[in-house]
């Protein structure tokens, strides 16, 4: 019989309606009272938070718990709020790389005890995935689909089909499982709007600039970006505000010129959520720019850009 650990972290799935709105209250054990499955289920309540309040420290603790229990269980399910679930899945994809066992995030748009809630269906689907002998890696199970944790994004604030991304395929597992413990706090993300200046904290060691289209640096910001990268030694990473297509600094003059003026990295086809997680992880495990660049770009010996 497959043995599954279900870890509770809070979120809408565990909420009850209070005077000031929905608030996490039910434990993961409470949630499982509504579900009947043919597997051996164990539970662990790590926290009970609105996912808006999650920080890198919560992600690190979650990864540590899975590492501690990894040999005991065949799969893992994490109940989590939807608002930052994509960031959580991206973070665990960095902290637990090439997991040969399935790690499934799930949650719901309505609390478990709400009428017509999607919670029972999502939780049951996540347990089924975690118990599948063919499953592996960090994924999000939601709305009847399984999304790769490196590519998943939240696209709707109300719909039961709240997520999108590359769907999991039962391909052959490859790679060695590797566990990591740290994510840096010194990564900052700035979404550009036309005409704005850059206000980057002095503590920044890496900055993700979410630019337009295929990526580029506006002429009026070029001096500030050069100062960041060349004078202050901040690692500057160019992302795009487009949902599909990725970055390509070679395509336009504003990209090529900026790349010639100072060292720039780019996210390629990474989501912003995964780029943030990748940068936090790479920064925690590198001592210089070249080490950071290698960690940011490579996975299983292949470049992700």
Sheet holding 145-148, edge to edge: 40-49, 3-10, 75-79, 102-106, 137-142, 145-148
Count CB neighbours of 302 within 10 A. 7
Tokens, residue 194: 């036309």
3-state secondary structure the chain: CCEEEEEEEECHHHEEEECCEEEECCCHHHHHCCCCCCCEEEEEEEEEECHHHCCHHHHHHHHHHHHHHCCCCCEEEEECCCCCHHHHHHHHHHHEECCCCEEEEECCCCCCCCCCCCHHHHHHHHHHHHCCCCCCEEEEEECCEEEECCCCEECCCCCCCCEECCECCCCCCCCCCEECCCCCCCEEEEECCCCCCCCCCCCCCEEEEEECCCCCCCHHHHHHHHHHHHHCCCEEEEEECCCCCCCCCCCCHHHHHHHHHCCCEECCCCCHHHHHHHHHHHHHCCCCHHHHHHHHHEECCEECC
Active site residue 12: yes
CA distance 277 to 121: 29
- Please identify which of the residues 9, 12, 247, 267 carries the catalytic annotation: 12
Which residues are known catalytic residues?
A: 12
């Amino acid at each position: 019989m497959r043995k599954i650990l279900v870890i509770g972290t809070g979120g809408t799935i565990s909420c009850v309606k209070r005077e000031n709105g929905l608030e996490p209250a039910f434990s993961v054990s409470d949630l499982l009272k509504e579900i009947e499955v043919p597997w051996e289920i164990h539970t662990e309540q790590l926290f009970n938070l609105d996912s808006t309040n999650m920080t890198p420290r919560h992600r690190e603790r979650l990864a540590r718990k899975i590492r501690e229990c990894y040999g005991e269980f065949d799969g893992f399910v994490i109940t989590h709020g939807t608002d930052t679930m994509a960031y959580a899945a991206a973070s665990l994809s960095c902290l637990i790389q090439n997991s040969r066992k399935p790690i499934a995030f799930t949650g719901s748009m309505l609390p478990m005890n709400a009428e017509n809630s999607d919670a029972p269906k999502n939780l049951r689907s996540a347990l089924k995935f975690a118990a599948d002998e063919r499953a592996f890696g960090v994924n999000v199970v939601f709305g009847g689909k399984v999304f790769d944790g490196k590519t998943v994004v939240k696209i709707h604030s109300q719909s039961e089909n709240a997520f999108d991304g590359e769907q999991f395929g039962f391909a052959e597992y490859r790679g060695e499982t590797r566990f990591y413990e740290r994510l840096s706090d010194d990564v900052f993300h700035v979404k550009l709007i036309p005409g704005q200046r850059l206000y980057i904290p002095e503590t920044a060691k890496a900055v993700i600039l979410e630019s337009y289209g295929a990526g580029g640096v506006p002429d009026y910001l070029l001096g500030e970006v050069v100062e960041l990268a060349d004078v202050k030694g901040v690692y500057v990473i160019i992302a795009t505000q487009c949902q599909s297509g990725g970055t390509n600094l070679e395509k336009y003059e504003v990209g090529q010129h900026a790349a010639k003026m100072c060292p720039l990295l780019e996210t390629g086809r990474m989501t912003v959520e995964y780029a943030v997680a990748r940068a936090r992880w790479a920064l925690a495990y590198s001592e210089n720019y070249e080490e950071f660049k290698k960690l940011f770009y490579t996975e299983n010996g292949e470049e992700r850009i």
